[in-house]
Structure 1
Amino acid sequence: MESIHILLVEDDPEIARVLRDYLTREGCTVTWSSTGLEGWEDFNQAAYQLVLIDLMLPEMDGFALCRKIRLSSDVPMMIISAHQEDHQKVRGLNLGADDYLTKPFSLSELSARIQSHLRRYRRFQGEREENGHQVEYRHGLKIDFLNQRVFAGAEEVPLTAKELALLLLLARHPNRMFSKKELYEQVWQQAEVDGNNTVTVHIKSLRTKLKDTAKEAVYIQTVWGSGYRFIGEQGEG
């Protein structure tokens, strides 16, 4: 196996050591996180080509970790769990995991599945880069997801890092309603506290810069009492 960086989130030290030692011998670089929260923090501190996640984790379970990672990244994710129930597998896959491997499993099967997902991901990345991954919306908005740039007509919109992160997150999941709590925890990577209006302030500034301040929103819609969703319609003009 070629050199890749894998994030392993597993709270059982014995299993983690076996997997880490095997993958290291295969030529991979492995970062081991022993809790879900540690896994989320590690994920945001480095670039990984694949993530292996156990379900029963302290601090943050594997389902929550899968959901948070998938909202911000297309990286291949594999769940490794002792749970064999179909509803657990379906839930994990619906949250964005690419595969579900039931313990105990052979190391050779793990290796084969990792290689398969890496090949598929490289094809996806190649197609995305070839296409530029730029999306044009009605009313003049263009988002370059690959280079993380935003344009209104021919002019680039000067967004702050947090404003850009909010827009990219919302636009990557069109018509999905995000609560303020979700947005804050995803973008600021901290637990939200009561009375925090940080998201509201940043959304207002973002709308102003996108000139999306009319009574009827064209890009970012407020779901009263719940949160926000991206409603931009693709198409020039």
Structure 2
Amino acid sequence: MENISILLVDDEQGLCDMLTTVLKKEGFRHIRSVGTGQEAVRILTEFNPDVIILDVMLPDEDGFEVCRKIRKMTETPILFLTARDADLDKLMGFGIGGDDYITKPFNPLEVVARTKARLKYKTQREQEAQQPRLTQWDFGYFRVDLTAGELIVNGNHVECPAREWELLVFLCRNPNRIFSTRQLYELVWNESYLGDEKTVVIHIFRLRKRMEPDPGNPRFIVNVRGLGYKMLAPRKGKE
């Protein structure tokens, strides 16, 4: 954590001081805070934070507008802090490039936990980008050819809608790793999880119907009770 830098954007100095204290206790050392959107945009020309914690209600401009400006400069994860908890506000925040949404009042340890989660996710994505990418997976009963965009089940070509295809490819790329419904939603849908696990469960169900010999007793995409789902490793892969 010592090399991680964080930018706090909030005009409540007491809140910034409190978060700075808690974050430092958790091992974060490089923390800077500003009180306006204009200062936040300006400081990014000289400071490259790993996470930005951004208040929505700023004295000079709306935090959502600040987020739009920041997104033109960096893809650094942005966590919104706000007293506005309406679903429409949350959807707007995610839609313009926010990565998480924390409503006031909050437990500062929740901010720490969500900050760590965003950093872990960012690290995973960077590591995945550096790894050689397989383009074909052979599971015996079914095969996936990423380059051709083909799912071949028991020798037959099977149509696979875009989101199910993305989910299938993600699981193929990460065999034997368990992912919770929240992780799958955030990593495949590339959106912050809003608590509705049915979206992931339904897509898993539909995908199993396409590529499992017995969808009711899955052989490949298995459920690990209380933890999530994993794809059992393929027989072979080709680069």
With structure 2 as the length reference, what TM-score do the two structures score? 0.52
Between the aligned residues of both structures, percent identity stands at 34
Decide whether aligned partners of structure 1 residues 84 and 126 sit closer, same or farther in structure 2, where only a CA change above 3 A counts: same
Give, in whole Å, the separation in 2 of the partners of 1:27 and 1:68: 29
Query: Which position in structure 2 is the counterpart of 1:5?
Result: 5
Query: Which position in structure 2 is the counterpart of 1:19?
Result: 19
Give, in whole Å, the separation in 2 of the partners of 1:49 and 1:13: 21
Write the mapping of 1:1-237 to structure 2, written as runs, cut at 5 A: 1-28=1-28, 29-130=30-131
SS of 1:93's partner is helix
SS of 1:122's partner is helix
Query: Which position in structure 2 is the counterpart of 1:196?
Result: none
Alignment length (residue pairs): 132
Report if aligned partners of 1:78, 1:98 keep a CA contact under 8 Å in 2: yes
SS of 1:31's partner is strand
Which consecutive unaligned segments of at least 5 residues does structure 1 have? Answer: 133-237
Give, in whole Å, the separation in 2 of the partners of 1:120 and 1:59: 31
| Partner deviation per Cα, 1:89-116 (whole Å, 9 max, x = no partner) | 1111101000000011112211111111
Residue 74 of structure 1 deviates from its aligned partner by: 1.7
Report if aligned partners of 1:3, 1:27 keep a CA contact under 8 Å in 2: no
SS of 2:72's partner is helix
Report if aligned partners of 2:22, 2:109 keep a CA contact under 8 Å in 1: no
Which consecutive unaligned segments of at least 5 residues does structure 2 have? Answer: 134-239
Residue 32 of structure 1 deviates from its aligned partner by: 0.2
| Partner deviation per Cα, 1:144-202 (whole Å, 9 max, x = no partner) | xxxxxxxxxxxxxxxxxxxxxxxxxxxxxxxxxxxxxxxxxxxxxxxxxxxxxxxxxxx
Give, in whole Å, the separation in 1 of the partners of 2:103 and 2:26: 21
Residue 9 of structure 1 deviates from its aligned partner by: 0.1
Report if aligned partners of 2:36, 2:58 keep a CA contact under 8 Å in 1: yes
Residue 129 of structure 1 deviates from its aligned partner by: 3.8
CA RMSD of aligned residues (A): 1.8
Which has more radius of gyration? 2
| Partner deviation per Cα, 1:57-100 (whole Å, 9 max, x = no partner) | 12232111111122332211100111111111111110100000
Report if aligned partners of 1:77, 1:99 keep a CA contact under 8 Å in 2: yes
Residue 3 of structure 1 deviates from its aligned partner by: 4.0
Give, in whole Å, the separation in 2 of the partners of 1:8 and 1:87: 24
Report if aligned partners of 1:36, 1:65 keep a CA contact under 8 Å in 2: yes
Give, in whole Å, the separation in 1 of the partners of 2:106 and 2:21: 16
Give, in whole Å, the separation in 2 of the partners of 1:44 and 1:124: 24
Report if aligned partners of 1:33, 1:39 keep a CA contact under 8 Å in 2: yes
Q: What amino acid is aligned across from residue 53 of structure 1 in structure 2?
A: L
Give, in whole Å, the separation in 2 of the partners of 1:77 and 1:34: 16
Residue 24 of structure 1 deviates from its aligned partner by: 2.0
Give, in whole Å, the separation in 2 of the partners of 1:74 and 1:14: 28
Give, in whole Å, the separation in 2 of the partners of 1:62 and 1:22: 23
Residue 55 of structure 1 deviates from its aligned partner by: 0.5
Residue 131 of structure 1 deviates from its aligned partner by: 6.6
Report if aligned partners of 1:82, 1:102 keep a CA contact under 8 Å in 2: yes
Give, in whole Å, the separation in 1 of the partners of 2:38 and 2:132: 35
Give, in whole Å, the separation in 2 of the partners of 1:55 and 1:103: 11
With structure 1 as the length reference, what TM-score do the two structures score? 0.52
Give, in whole Å, the separation in 2 of the partners of 1:70 and 1:129: 23
SS of 1:72's partner is coil
